[in-house]
Amino acid sequence: MTHEPAPHGIPPDPWEDLRAHTQARLALGRAGAALPTAELLRFGLAHAQARDAVHIPLDAEALAAQLQAQGCATLPVHSAAPDRATYLLRPDLGRRLCDADAQALRVPGDQHSGGHPVDLLLVVADGLSSLAVARQAPPLIDAICQQAPAGWQLGPVVIAQQARVALGDEVGALLGARLVAVLIGERPGLSSPDSLGIYLTWHPQVGRNDAQRNCISNVRPEGLPPAAAAARLWWLCQEARQLGLTGVGLKDRSDAVTLTADQGGDAAQLR
């Protein structure tokens, strides 16, 4: 394959055609022994966006208003980390509720869900990217609600600030949830400052570890779209209820479950 000479004296890169298929930083070209100025500027912008995603605070009130407009009841909580600097330096504090919110939740869990036991509790946590939460959480929660199987009771959407994944264990235990799904901003990359992760835990309680969770990552339009992420979450939820567990004992086979028309006729469920 031949390449036309690049403008401004930048030699063409034989890998350049691959750039149409990935957001990875490849085939950047060179100007002498250095990167072209345009690519250096793009790198600086991506780095700044990643830093901003970590440090810009989540607008919890705006998020709550948006979710309420979608028909979801919300419940705000805060971790034991009083501010962002402490949150980044003390991961342990981000895993536990502040004393005031822990005390407020120490009432029968069904009082927060209209008197019904909670099958799945959604906890939205800012994590390491408030940008991911602001962009991806509302459409994802809408898809989760739209796809909810008959008979499953969702609790109020808990909006947690300065929170890490394990905070969902304490919240879920206090609200008496059978399953908790923590929707959290993932650590931003240079091409994905707005990626959301989902961590699902059966029978949440303080002391659960990561081996007892299932993770769905890279939820965003450029990765796993909201509808597909919601479908995968509900598949895991139903399997978790059958097996009575999540984590390493629950293998995600959701991609192999449905046969589409292109793969052999009417959709069929496989076991």
Question: Does the structure show a pLDDT above 80 at 22?
Answer: no
CA distances from 192 to 20, 28, 36, 81, 252 (A): 16, 18, 22, 26, 24
Whether residue 257 lies inside any domain: the answer is no
Question: Percent of the chain scored above 70 by pLDDT?
Answer: 84
Whether residue 73 lies inside any domain: the answer is yes
Q: Give tens-digit pLDDT for 187-229.
A: 887 778 899 999 999 999 999 999 999 999 999 998 999 999 9
Average of per-residue pLDDT across 166-186: 97
**pTM of the shown model:** 0.82
Question: Does the structure show a pLDDT above 80 at 107?
Answer: no
Whether residue 15 lies inside any domain: the answer is no
Is residue 188 within 8 A of residue 48, CB to CB? The reply is no
Chain mean pLDDT for the chain: 86
Element of type H or E holding 196: strand 196-202
CATH of the domain at 111: 3.40.50.11240
pLDDT band at 44 (very low <50, low <70, confident <90, very high): confident
**Which residue range is the domain that position 213 belongs to?**
58-251
Which of 235 and 266 is assigned the larger pLDDT? 235
Q: Which of 61, 6, 15 is CA-nearest to residue 36?
A: 6
Q: Give tens-digit pLDDT for 122-141.
A: 999 999 999 999 999 999 99
Whether residue 191 lies inside any domain: the answer is yes
In angstroms, the CA 165 to CA 188 distance is 16
pLDDT band at 259 (very low <50, low <70, confident <90, very high): very low
Whether residue 66 lies inside any domain: the answer is yes
Q: Is 57 left (phi over 0), alpha (psi -120 to 50) or beta?
A: beta
Whether residue 5 lies inside any domain: the answer is no
The pLDDT of residue 29: 74
The pLDDT of residue 106: 85
In angstroms, the CA 161 to CA 164 distance is 9
Report how many domains make up the chain. Answer: 1
Whether residue 10 lies inside any domain: the answer is no
Q: Residue 203 half-sphere exposure, CB side, CA atoms within 13 Å? A: 9
Whether residue 206 lies inside any domain: the answer is yes
